[in-house]
Structures are given as C-alpha cells and as structure tokens.
Amino acid sequence: MGERALRGTRLGATSYENDRNTDLAPRQEVPYTCPKGHRFDVPLAAEAEIPATWECRSCGATALRVDAEQPQQKKAKPPRTHWDMLLERRTIEDLEEVLNERLAILRAQRRKSA
C-alpha cells in the first residue's frame, strides 16, 4: 500500500482488508421470545453451545429460546447484613459491654460540657 493511502489515517483504527475470497464459519439462527412478546433471532456458530436465555434487544428483559423450557432458578444466599457480620465476631454480652463503655464515655463528656 502506498504512502498516500496511509496519510491522514489513524493506524489500527480501520482495517484495509476486504472479505473477498474468505469463507465464513457455519452459522445457525436461534429464535428467542421475551415476556413482552418481542421475537428476534440470534446468529450463533453452528458448533456453539446454545444458551436457553438471551437479553431482549428491544426492552432488555430476559428472553427464552423458542424451543427451550424455563431454566431452574438457582438457590440464592440471602445477603449478609452488618448485624450478621458483627455477630460472627462478637457475642451479645460483648456488644452490651462495649455499649455500656461508650455510654459511660458520652455521659462523662456531657457532664464536662454542662
């Protein structure tokens, strides 16, 4: 390619190759339907594992493959709260002791300022 063809372009930004004389990988069209009634096809490689769900292109909902059944929901662990994590480190008696110490400090500061 001559020097003129590269002048004024960003190298790496565009490919100067064309797809003539190339064979594309075999593909298959997989139909999906979302709960809102949108139907669309997704082109996938012929040897690819086909997922049961896909994000809808129109609304973003989870679309189900036309010939598939609803996948089973995974058991989700409930989120751990701050209280749960605190109870892993300390007992209720320890927490009451710390609370009483902090209350004594606060009461002493109030007496000083009053």
**Tens digit of each residue's pLDDT (9 = 90 or more) over 61-97:** 889 898 877 777 788 888 999 999 999 999 999 999 9
The DSSP element (H or E) to which 28 belongs, if any, is: strand 27-33
Domain range 27-65, its CATH number among 3.40.50.720, 2.20.28.270, 3.10.450.40, 2.40.10.10: 2.20.28.270
Q: Residue 9, annotated ligand binder? A: no
Q: Residue 82, annotated ligand binder? A: no
Cα(23)–Cα(38) distance, integer angstroms: 32
pLDDT at 105: 95
pLDDT at 75: 86
Q: Residue 38, annotated ligand binder? A: yes
Q: Where are the domains of the chain?
A: 27-65, 82-113
Confidence band, pLDDT 50/70/90 cuts, at residue 108: very high
Alpha helix locations (H) across 3-59?
3-6
Q: Residue 56, annotated ligand binder? A: yes
- What's the length of the chain? 114
Pairing of strands 53-55, 62-65: antiparallel
Q: Which of 1-5, 11-15, 110-114 has the highest mean pLDDT?
A: 110-114
* Under 8 Å between Cβ of 105 and 72: no
Q: CA-based diameter of the chain, in Å?
A: 91
pTM of the model: 0.48
